[in-house]
Chain A
Amino acid sequence: MSDATSKRRFSPGTTIDDLKAYMGPFAARLGYKFNTDEDFVAMVLEGEIEVLDRDGDVYCPCRMRTGDPKEDLKIVCPCIPFYTDQFSAMSKCWCGLFIRTDVEDGSTLHGVIEAPDGPVDVRVAATGDLADGQGRVVAVGKRKLALFRVDGEFFCLENVCKHLWAPLGEGYLDGHFVMCPWHGWRYDVRTGTTDHPDADVRTFAVTVLGGEVFVRI
């Protein structure tokens, strides 16, 4: 592990308080803070200090380094910049060491760690919230998506028409096509495609479980 020692950011004898002082402001700039459960925070940071002493940087204590420096950078704590979509939607980082600054009680946001690096399913609506032929804008963390219901099936698109960035979720549905509310650009809600060149929008997988609609991001 000699590659890491030359660029060591922490001196030997680094404490939990040192890590907090270093990471806190960094996380705050990204809209996150330490979990309010202090015992949990201490437990994670103790693990990180063991890793720091052994490997020369605060790699995730729950993951193994690959040996590829570029890949391993993604598991240096806090890993927030690499997973902003998922964390924003979950209100926490993978392990729950950090939670979004608007969360008051983080004690329920740890205990289960999702399989890191994978997509996450986020509940966006109940099936009854939309009638057939209806769309709406839904919030996933700080991001807005467009959700549509056609013949009992749900579809999710990016909420931005590529013409002038109008909210597609407020558009009008005609079968499987949504018309942009501003200038009528037409998108297929199944594929995100449009007749206009280079203007397709992203689609998001939707699952329905027990009357709840989940979007995968």
Chain B
Amino acid sequence: MATKVYALSTCPYCKMARKYLEENSVSFDVVEVDMLTGSEREEAVSEVKRLSGGTSFPVIEVDGEVIVGFNKPKMQKLLHL
């Protein structure tokens, strides 16, 4: 199961979501969008917009399904926690 978290380094809900995944031993990739620069950043921002329709974080992608925000019930469902 591929899980990717688009996050901002300053965002408390991103931290909570990452902590929650770690506590449940879910392996995931993180992209801290605000720490990127130049074209890497632009690409990440447009990917977040494509996935979520906005620029609010975290955006969590689980096997093609998208969760916007730290939504524990949705994470539990998609990750079978």
- Chain A interface residues (CB < 8 Å from chain B): 40, 43-44, 46-48, 50-51, 54, 61-64, 66, 95, 111-117
Query: Who on chain A is nearest to B11 by CB?
Result: A62
Least CB distance, B50 to chain A, in whole angstroms: 14
CB–CB B56/A111 < 8 A: no
- Chain B interface residues (CB < 8 Å from chain A): 8-16, 33-34, 45, 52, 54-58, 68-73
CB–CB B34/A64 < 8 A: yes
Query: Who on chain A is nearest to B48 by CB?
Result: A64
Least CB distance, B67 to chain A, in whole angstroms: 9
Assembled-state Cα–Cα distance A66/B54 (Å): 10
Least CB distance, A95 to chain B, in whole angstroms: 7
- Interface SS, A side: loop
Q: Could you say which of B11, B45, B54, B73 contacts A47, with CB atoms under 8 Å apart?
A: B11
CB–CB A64/B55 < 8 A: yes
Assembled-state Cα–Cα distance A62/B34 (Å): 10
Nearest 6 Cβ contacts at the A-B interface:
A61-B10, A113-B69, A62-B11, A64-B55, A115-B68, A47-B10
CB–CB B33/A62 < 8 A: no
Query: Who on chain B is nearest to A65 by CB?
Result: B55
Assembled-state Cα–Cα distance A111/B16 (Å): 8
Known A63-B55, A64-B33, A64-B55: A113·B45 in contact at CB below 8 Å: no
**20 other contacts beyond A50-B9, A63-B57, A113-B69, with CB at 8 A cut-off?**
A43-B15, A44-B12, A51-B10, A61-B12, A62-B13, A62-B58, A63-B56, A64-B8, A64-B33, A95-B12, A111-B16, A111-B70, A112-B69, A112-B72, A114-B69, A115-B52, A115-B54, A116-B56, A117-B54, A117-B56
